[in-house]
Structure 1
């Protein structure tokens, strides 16, 4: 009987330890998700603060900026340094499928002349549903504005998406 009590006590200890580890890892995952969400909120808020800023090729300020500068300036606020060009930015982080986009992801596009070459970038700000994913970017005609990735124009030029953090 004494031997059975020791074995039962041993198994009880292991089960308790496993349960505590499971709860602790769950809390850590939630904390990590909350930290990511806070960073995304700050990132989107910062990018949206540039809405209406006119487009200027090579520009990096509120007087005028291009699409990659919008991303550099926005990510800088949360302590992430992105390269200066949209092509170099498209090599950062991990690839994400169009159907898996989340706020904070980067989206990259080609141009009408050369769809294969990445020439434009934006930041996903909101996922309304499968057919409506808003992203903020600097356009030559409207300056910094938000558009739908799934619009006829942008869907045709879409190249890839990346998750930086």
Structure 2
């Protein structure tokens, strides 16, 4: 008898969950085959404000190192290299970056240089074919990108991508924020 009650309850549950709205759905073959392109939602005003605030915090931290001498492998105010500057600057917003510039180049998404904004990263190859230098976009004026970085000869400075040296060695830009 118990198995009979169980069977009845089971049938009732199946019929409840199997109910539909009674509407029939049909697709034209052309609609069914067409793939919809899904676009990510546009960032809200609050999202844009948060991103701008984070970029400002990253740059504020980077500015603290202006004039700091270059030191290979350095990550402190007594001396740092280009990737050390990026690590320290992004730690200000709680974002952990890889130690070397070529690994930092894999963070975020690649963007076109003309779309660069404050807080984006720019990558260079100064000796050969692979990335070995990074800077943080500091400002963009009339399409000219300025970036803060640790130069081997001058320490932490702001440079322009329009300078012949950097322009010839530019590889890519990424947006982490």
What TM-score, normalized by structure 1, do the two folds share?
0.80
| 1:135, distance to aligned residue in structure 2 (A) | 0.2
* In structure 1, distance between residues paired with 2:68 and 2:122: 20
Pairing 1:96–2:111 present: yes
Partner of 2:141: 128
Structure 1: where are the runs of 5+ without partners?
1-24
* In structure 1, distance between residues paired with 2:98 and 2:161: 23
Partner of 1:29: 44
The answer to which structure has the higher helix fraction is: 1
Structure 2: where are the runs of 5+ without partners?
1-40
| 1:35, distance to aligned residue in structure 2 (A) | 0.7
Partner of 1:160: 172
* In structure 2, distance between residues paired with 1:149 and 1:79: 28
* In structure 2, distance between residues paired with 1:58 and 1:136: 17
* In structure 2, distance between residues paired with 1:97 and 1:38: 22
Partner of 1:146: 158
What TM-score, normalized by structure 2, do the two folds share?
0.75
Out of 87, 90, 114, the position equivalent to 1:72 is 87
Count of aligned pairs between the two proteins: 137
* In structure 2, distance between residues paired with 1:48 and 1:119: 22
Query: Moved runs in structure 1, 4+ residues, more than 4 A?
Result: none
Q: Aligned Cα RMSD in Å? A: 1.4
